[in-house]
Amino acid sequence: MAFTSIFPAIGLTILFFGLAKLIVKHSAFYQQIVQKADQAQYKTLDGLRGFLALGVFFHHAVVNYQYFQIGTWQVSPSNFYTFAGQGAVAFFFMITGFLFWSKVISGSRFKLKDFYIKRALRVLPAYWFSLAVIVVIVLIISNFSLKVSLPRFLMQIGSWLVCGIYGFSNVSSNVFPDINYSSVGLINASVQWTLTYELQFYLILPFLTWFAKPSRFIGLFLTFLTLCLVSSYKPLPTLMSFLFGMAAAYLIKHLEPKKRFLGWHTSLGIMVLLVAIPIILPPPYIYDLGAISLIFCAFVLIAHGNNLFGLLTASASKYLGTVSYSVYLLHGIVLFSVLRLVNRIYPIAGMNPIYFWMLVGLCGLMVISLSGLTYRYVEYPFLRVKLAVNSVAKSGSSHTDRYPVKK
């Protein structure tokens, strides 16, 4: 069996689904979380997040195996696993653009201070927790000895603390420094790069509210689309995923009352489309406009309410969606730690793919279990603080914190 066979991923997805269902069954906390998810306006997106996080996990598992084979960190030759990772990121960006822009075009006032406080409370705690684990791993690798000066070591960590803006990197260059001469990108599978794009979106969102009027947004969309076609600036197509998500907000607002495109035939069509994308478009393709346009079609239909034969609304999917951010941040760390430990005993490069996928299954079970703990004890406490912020906001806020949405 080739290490790029899709069958291990399918089998392990079923296994992970079973573990998630078991956790929900035996956890009163997650039973309540799942019940609340049932009341969400876009409940299919919660389940979608869970599958996207698993896609990124499988993508990086294959990249890790290839790294042990050739010594280079690069995407695998498998269209399926490339799409599982890169396509998932495009979906994640669309979800971000869609959810925030849906609020903007609903006509509510944009409260700047509250927005940034809530985003910080949502994104940073789990990210900083993962960074703390990374620093511990770096120190273990270096036998707890500094290979750089203490001020430089602290500056390197500081740059990561603020998502790469401070010191040696910035948002636009998407570069994060090594820590103590250890490549952090190998430890966490370089998942932090997407946070820089999320940060860019958060920074410009208050200014984008001026484009909430459909005619203005069309102008913005076409301008950006033209830039993507004529410019060689690589981040543009990736950022286009956010705009596609924002465009979906208008379509869903129009389609929502009609419910025309719901049913088994639409779910089947979505699944066929998702299978077809990595087949008909050769790599590198996912961040090209053609692939993003096809992903956009699938995204709109899922956001509209198609649950893919119940897969996206199952309790296990909702659990995986709830802990997806922790899965995203921690899976690379777990893969790195487990595979390097095993490699000391038995070389991964010479390992039978079947045994490798068994290791991946073990890593996945660990990631899903650990993510349940980090969500409960790292993410959720700050989400409760966010609820308090919402309560304060309802009691009143300063005029300077509000940006009216023009229509």
Cα distance from N-terminal residue to C-terminal residue, the chain = 57
397: its two tokens: 């806020």
Residues 6+ away with beta carbon under 8 Å from 182: 137, 138, 141, 142
393 has a pLDDT exceeding 60: no
Q: How far is CA 63 from CA 71, 84, 341, in A?
A: 11, 12, 17
193 band by pLDDT with thresholds 50, 70 and 90: confident
Q: Report pLDDT digits (tens) over 78-120.
A: 999 999 999 999 999 999 999 999 988 887 777 888 888 899 9
Question: Domains of the chain: which residue ranges?
Answer: 7-110+183-403
Section 399-407 average pLDDT: 37
Instruction: Identify the residue with better confidence: 239 or 12.
Output: 12
Q: Report pLDDT digits (tens) over 322-371.
A: 999 999 999 999 999 999 999 999 999 999 999 999 999 999 999 999 99
Section 229-252 average pLDDT: 82
322 and 30 Cβ atoms separated by less than 8 Å: yes
199 has a pLDDT exceeding 90: no
Q: Report pLDDT digits (tens) over 140-181.
A: 999 999 999 999 999 889 889 887 554 334 444 446 888 998
Give the whole-angstrom CA distance, residue 14 versus residue 9.
9
313: its two tokens: 């609304």
C-alpha closest to that of 301 among 276, 269, 277, 272 = 269
Section 215-233 average pLDDT: 84
pLDDT of res. 133: 97
Q: How many residues does the chain have?
A: 407
28 has a pLDDT exceeding 80: yes
Section 298-311 average pLDDT: 94
142: its two tokens: 């270096």
Q: What angle do CA 293, 78, 178 make, to 5 degrees?
A: 90
Rounded to 10°, the helix 7-26/28-37 angle is: 110
155: its two tokens: 């500056």
284 band by pLDDT with thresholds 50, 70 and 90: low
pLDDT of res. 145: 93
Section 21-50 average pLDDT: 93
Give the whole-angstrom CA distance, residue 367 versus residue 392.
35
pLDDT of res. 77: 86
169: its two tokens: 């990197």
State how far Cα 71 lies from the chain centre. 26
pLDDT of res. 398: 39
C-alpha closest to that of 57 among 393, 323, 347 = 323
Q: Is the dihedral of CA 301, 304, 308, 311 positive or negative?
A: positive
224 has a pLDDT exceeding 90: no
Section 377-391 average pLDDT: 78
Q: Work out the mean pLDDT of the chain and round it to a whole number.
A: 87
Other C-beta atoms closer than 10 Å to the C-beta of 134 total: 22
Q: Which of 77-86, 130-139, 199-208 has the lowest average pLDDT?
A: 199-208
